[in-house]
Structure 1
Amino acid sequence: MKRDVPRRRQLTTEDYFDGVRACDITVLPRALTLIESSNAAHQRQAEALLTRLLPHTGDAIRVGITGAPGVGKSTFIESLGLQLTAQGKRVAVLAVDPSSGISGGSILGDKTRMGRLAAEPGAYIRPSPSAGTLGGVAGKTRESMLVCEAAGYEVLLIETVGVGQSETMVAEMTDCFLALMLPGAGDDLQGIKRGLLELVDVIAVNKADDATRKAAEVAAHQYEMAIHSILGKQDNPPQVLTCSALHNKHVDEVWQAIEERYTAMKAGGELAAKRRRQQVRWLWAIIEERMKQALREHPGVRRIRDSLEADVLDGNLPPEVAASKILEAFGLQDR
């Protein structure tokens, strides 16, 4: 006999607001799911919720953490998170998982990888699929940060996909940007980009364990030389350290470097100015995303899209001409 599964009560905007402000762990994930939803009604309610929550945001330190797969991001975040919660701080981790380009699905395994941190009452881990968003972050990471801040989390750790996309988006939504590197710089050093060095605040060579400690120290020195060579005599160059997240060694020193950077920016007014600039870029990023969504869903565009794509695929039509036809169907002239 089939059992009727009771449906969860639909929450009002007031319910969401009260639950988030109280850090109700049964409401918080539902609020984040609402924020991430592409449903038009959900988006309108999410906007109303964010407007209500906005005065209660902005007090957390926002830290972006990037690094290539295998560098130990999750291990580092768990080690750092456990240290911070032991000090009485409340920590939210927004961990972005790679999404399948075919199905859009993701592994969402961070709660498994960070089992000890997930069990801490003062920590909250939210895995989100990147869903094709460039920059190593999820499409609603910024909004999710605001919800977590309104819930009273004092430290936000944004773990990026770290699969080689531009890291600009990460830097444009966080206060401090940490890059984790592997010992034995080698190819990493050869491929390090000026743009990344201009974005990061702290570089930490992870896995400085007994067997690889010397290699990590050599790599750290090489990164320092690269910073000096590429950036020259910059006033506040990225700080380079070594650590072992697995053995919980020197992770506190990495956090101290991040806190020092944050405190200096806040005292000098740079933090407030940086966040204001981020807000404006966020505005235009939202406009661009919604314009793309409106373009894809426009009836006139949908009628001709498949045939135009087929003509471009077969080499019968230049992409520029097809683009003009799509914009014309949308009601815009590109020239």
Structure 2
Amino acid sequence: MAQKYSVSKPSWVPEEKDEKFACSVMGGIEGIKDTTVGNINPAIQSGKLRPKRRMVLTEDEYVEGVANGDRMTLSRAITLIESNSPRHFKKAQRVLQRLLPRTGKALRIGITGVPGAGKSTMIEALGNMLCDEGHRVAILTVDPTSSVTKGSILGDKTRMGTLSRRPEAFIRPSPAGGTLGGVARKSRETMLMCEAAGYDIILIETVGVGQSETTVRSMVDFFMLVVLTGAGDELQGIKKGIMELADAIVVNKADGDNLTKAKVARGEFERMIEYIRPATPGWPTHAYLASAIEKTGLKELWEVMQAFEQMTKKSGVFQKRRDGQLLDWMHSMIDEHLHNLFLEDPVIKGRMPEVKEAVLGGTISPTQAVAELIHMFDVQRAAARQDDLFHPREDKGGGR
């Protein structure tokens, strides 16, 4: 078995490649897993191979690295947050707690739209423009998780080749699935980590389908809907509840032969907006034209976002929205935590198979089954099993 990685050229290397082509195939090592969260390659564990970096970071190293803006440490801290291990959950919460005073200073922008609307291409063009103006930009893309394989493609970064090479930008694709809060908790905490690392603009791209739009709306300050021409008439547009969440509607791909159609679509969306309550009190939602390919309309969009920030901060709506988001986050975590406490209770776990069989057999109704299980649930017993998340004594790998 090979003791080190083997690197070879992929079969699709272009004949005339230049310095911008930087792809290779890594053979890997049998048995290696995610080293960030502690599953160590046997060769490294036996001492035959020396790792190029620390395999497990302490809590202090995470905090110091993120605070100093180190992108490698930030990536590993986000991996720690995304881990479903209870041990890693505790360590991640302590790291986040120590970094919390450094958060809250960035402008948070959510971007959604149907698949194929050009969200990723627009984000790259917008991100490059913001980096040119001296900003540090973090891009968080939320990928859908398969209900069959439980995996995610995480491929949005491939559409941001230029932006991903810029030191002022940080791009992180994340899966929507998982336990202990899923996209709601993990995306929020990833966003806070990026703010603690010094990024002053956070762009969050949704998967474009399902409930993720509502979730992302509850995390950001400004929410932008990217649409295409031919989206339907006024009535069809009003029926789309997503328009009620948008602070701006952007008709993308307004270039070439499509420019005339885009202008017509913009007029249609402006008429639709007249029948919808504004997503943010005091801020009128409007439709705009943009082309991510030709990079037109991007400066206008950024000026709109800056005007939005100034107006909402002056009126108090900005801080009121953030306060509401924090409380909503707390309430959702209470629901999630109680749900986990209930299902992980040993008495409930022992009784659950019989109750399920009785429900499926028609012996008792689902309502009666829930009442019986809740009657058996002991809150004090569940509370006794809980450890203090912010007390590191039992976490040997994360001492302070």
- Could you state the TM-score of these two structures normalised by the residue count of structure 1? 0.90
- Tell me how far apart the structure 1 counterparts of residues 141 and 98 of structure 2 sit (CA, whole Å): 25
- Tell me how far apart the structure 2 counterparts of residues 189 and 297 of structure 1 sit (CA, whole Å): 47
Cα distance, 1:318–1:69 mapped onto 2, change above 3 Å: farther
SS at match of 1:167: helix
- Tell me how far apart the structure 2 counterparts of residues 74 and 160 of structure 1 sit (CA, whole Å): 10
Once the two structures are superposed, the pairs formed by residues 200-239 of structure 1 within 5 Å of their partners are 200-231=246-277, 235-239=282-286
Which residue in the other structure is 1:327 paired with? 374
SS at match of 2:255: coil
Moved more, 9-18 or 299-308: 299-308
Q: Structure 2 counterpart of 1:160, which letter?
A: T
Asked whether the 8 Å contact 2:102–2:195 carries over to 1, the reply is yes
1:174 Cα shift?
Answer: 0.6
Asked whether the 8 Å contact 1:194–1:230 carries over to 2, the reply is no
Q: Does 1:252 find its partner at 2:319? A: no
- Tell me how far apart the structure 2 counterparts of residues 146 and 231 of structure 1 sit (CA, whole Å): 30
Once the two structures are superposed, the pairs formed by residues 38-49 of structure 1 within 5 Å of their partners are 38-49=84-95
1:60 Cα shift?
Answer: 0.6
1:25 Cα shift?
Answer: 1.7
Q: Structure 2 counterpart of 1:46, which letter?
A: A
Moved more, 59-68 or 253-262: 253-262
SS at match of 1:66: strand
Q: Deviations over 1:265-304 (max 9, x none)?
A: 1222221221111111111111111122222222222223
Which residue in the other structure is 1:98 paired with? 144
SS at match of 1:230: coil
Match of 2:316 among 266, 269, 280: 269
Q: Deviations over 1:15-72 (max 9, x none)?
A: 1111001111221111111122222222222221112111111111000111111111
1:317 Cα shift?
Answer: 4.2
SS at match of 2:347: helix
Cα distance, 1:206–1:299 mapped onto 2, change above 3 Å: same
SS at match of 1:153: coil
Once the two structures are superposed, the pairs formed by residues 1-335 of structure 1 within 5 Å of their partners are 1=1, 3=3, 4-5=43-44, 6=50, 8-131=54-177, 137=183, 139-165=185-211, 167-186=213-232, 190-193=236-239, 195-231=241-277, 235-313=282-360, 317-331=364-378
- Tell me how far apart the structure 1 counterparts of residues 372 and 266 of structure 2 sit (CA, whole Å): 53
Asked whether the 8 Å contact 1:130–1:139 carries over to 2, the reply is no
Q: Structure 2 counterpart of 1:149, which letter?
A: E
Cα distance, 1:189–1:60 mapped onto 2, change above 3 Å: farther
1:108 Cα shift?
Answer: 0.6
1:311 Cα shift?
Answer: 4.4
Asked whether the 8 Å contact 1:177–1:202 carries over to 2, the reply is yes
Give me the CA root mean square deviation: 2.4
SS at match of 1:262: helix
1:125 Cα shift?
Answer: 0.6
1:120 Cα shift?
Answer: 0.9
Structure 1 gaps of 5+ residues are none
Asked whether the 8 Å contact 1:136–1:170 carries over to 2, the reply is no
Cα distance, 1:189–1:177 mapped onto 2, change above 3 Å: farther
Cα distance, 1:34–1:9 mapped onto 2, change above 3 Å: same
1:315 Cα shift?
Answer: 5.1
Cα distance, 1:266–1:125 mapped onto 2, change above 3 Å: same
Asked whether the 8 Å contact 1:101–1:132 carries over to 2, the reply is no
- Could you state the TM-score of these two structures normalised by the residue count of structure 2? 0.76
- Tell me how far apart the structure 2 counterparts of residues 248 and 205 of structure 1 sit (CA, whole Å): 13
- Tell me how far apart the structure 1 counterparts of residues 289 and 78 of structure 2 sit (CA, whole Å): 35
Cα distance, 1:312–1:67 mapped onto 2, change above 3 Å: farther
- Tell me how far apart the structure 1 counterparts of residues 320 and 282 of structure 2 sit (CA, whole Å): 18
- Tell me how far apart the structure 2 counterparts of residues 299 and 255 of structure 1 sit (CA, whole Å): 53
Q: Deviations over 1:61-84 (max 9, x none)?
A: 000111111111111111111111
Asked whether the 8 Å contact 2:84–2:178 carries over to 1, the reply is no
- Tell me how far apart the structure 2 counterparts of residues 39 and 150 of structure 1 sit (CA, whole Å): 23
Cα distance, 1:47–1:80 mapped onto 2, change above 3 Å: same
Cα distance, 1:217–1:147 mapped onto 2, change above 3 Å: same
SS at match of 2:71: coil
Q: Structure 2 counterpart of 1:91, which letter?
A: V
Residue-pair matches, total: 330
Identity percentage over the alignment?
45
SS at match of 1:158: strand
